[in-house]
Amino acid sequence: MDTYGIIGWPVSHSLSPAMHNAAFKALGIKAVYGLLPLHPSKLKEGIEGIRVLNIKGVSVTVPHKENVMAFLDEVDNIAREIGAVNIIINQEGKLFGVNTDWIGAKKAIEQKINLSGKKAVVIGAGGAARAVVYALVKGGAQVLIFNRTYEKAQKLASELGGEPFPLSQIKNATGDVLVQTTSVGLNEDQSPVPKEILSRFKVVMDIVYKPLETRLLREAKEAGCEVIDGLEMLVYQGVEQFFLWKNIRPSAELMRKAALEELSGEKNGR
């Protein structure tokens, strides 16, 4: 039986095992996907462990998406351009790094709006923001990046495209799409976006999925926006990961259902 998993620190919150194991089962594939907690100080040894134990593939989550690249045999051009890897493929001991986060972001947003010629505002400038900005630029959008540390927004804009702004100027932001990529709102009733500006946008997306309806999304709905919850990007990037490992795309709906069941179980204290 082939083994897959997710590396990160921490990883206990991850919904990826529920999604991938549901897909393996539905497709009759003899494989298992588990949690592989990996402390940042042990990253090099952990990556070697993937080879030694012949783990066929792993998802990569925070804080390893950028640092893991140094320990892989090959990183594809898009992942290198984004500057982050979120999936490793083990081909007979050779480890290949790829990024499917950007595909997840693009598919999630394009369910609601055609990005070509649109104006998109991104909150944040970390690893997730890099994939989102790449997706928006590839989709043909004009991108504005707002971040608490202005220098990070500048760096991201210069590398991938877009116009940088300090987060303190968010009250002046306008556009068609707003994407929130920071951890603000994760298990807390907080939002980095003042609710009075939300009515200026058609679509609002939050990559946080705990809770599924963050304060930002709740206030965006009240402002009349279409909203995209954090599960959409997670599910679509997961579908692409599965395809790269097994050359078959599982149902996105199946993966979303499995993730929702896992979230519901956690909420009820399972």
How far is Cα 8 from Cα 203, in angstroms, rounded to an integer? 30
- Residue 29: the pLDDT is 97
Residues of the chain predicted below pLDDT 70: 267-270
Q: Supply the pTM of this predicted model.
A: 0.93
- Residue 268: the pLDDT is 61
Give me the catalytic one of 56, 65, 118, 246: 65
- Residue 79: the pLDDT is 97
DSSP string, 166-210: EGGGGGG---SEEEE-SSTTTTSS--SS-GGGGGG-SEEEE---S
For 195-212, write each residue's pLDDT tens digit.
999 999 999 999 999 999
User: What is the three-class DSSP state of 83?
Assistant: coil
User: What is the three-class DSSP state of 64?
Assistant: coil
Instruction: Verify whether residue 42 is a known catalytic residue.
Output: no
For 68-106, write each residue's pLDDT tens digit.
999 999 999 999 999 999 999 999 999 999 999 999 999
- Cβ-contact 135, 106 below 8 angstroms: yes
- Residue 269: the pLDDT is 57
In the chain the domains, ranked by start, together with CATH numbers, are 2-99+232-267 (3.40.50.10860), 103-228 (3.40.50.720)
Burial 37-62 (b: 16+ CB within 10 A, else e): ebeeeebeebbeebeeeebbbbbbbb
